[in-house]
Amino acid sequence: MTTTSDPARGEARGWCCEVCGAEGTGRQFGTLHAHWGEGSQHAGEQYRLRLCELCFFQTLAHLRREHDVQHLFDDEGMADPERFGRIEVTTVEEPAAAKRVGMLRDQLGPIPEDFDALGSDEIRQRFEGSEDTSED
């Protein structure tokens, strides 16, 4: 496989189909991927083939035909050629970020004059070291 950046993130600037050798750029490729886990015959092995559009859909058509043969006489029947292996992606709108600044306005009592200086004496003592070591 030839890549010029991280293929897992779909950022490849240039790539080469591993079946026919066609070259492309960007997200004009499909990926056949497997990472076999514990209990499988190929446990620990990983596979990833980058395919051009033509090779990807030829592979998909082959798998769909195999599916149809495997299910020829059962209730599942033939695969829908438009939907076999296809994932429907829906975009979920993220709710607008809640406004945080000013959300407690008029809900708090008066803010003390020394609000920014609260605990300043203790903080200063801890930085500068206190002669009183009874707390530690």
In angstroms, give the least distance from the CB of 7 to Zn ion: 15
Given the complex with Zn ion, which of 14 and 37 has the nearer CB atom? 14
Contact residues for Zn ion (CB under 5 A)? 17, 19-20, 22, 52, 55
Distance CA(55)–CA(50), nearest Å, equals 9
Whether 62 contacts 84, CB under 8 Å: no
Given the complex with Zn ion, which of 22 and 79 has the nearer CB atom? 22
Given the complex with Zn ion, which of 20 and 78 has the nearer CB atom? 20
Could you give the C-alpha distances from 64 to 28, 67, 102, in angstroms and in order? 22, 5, 58
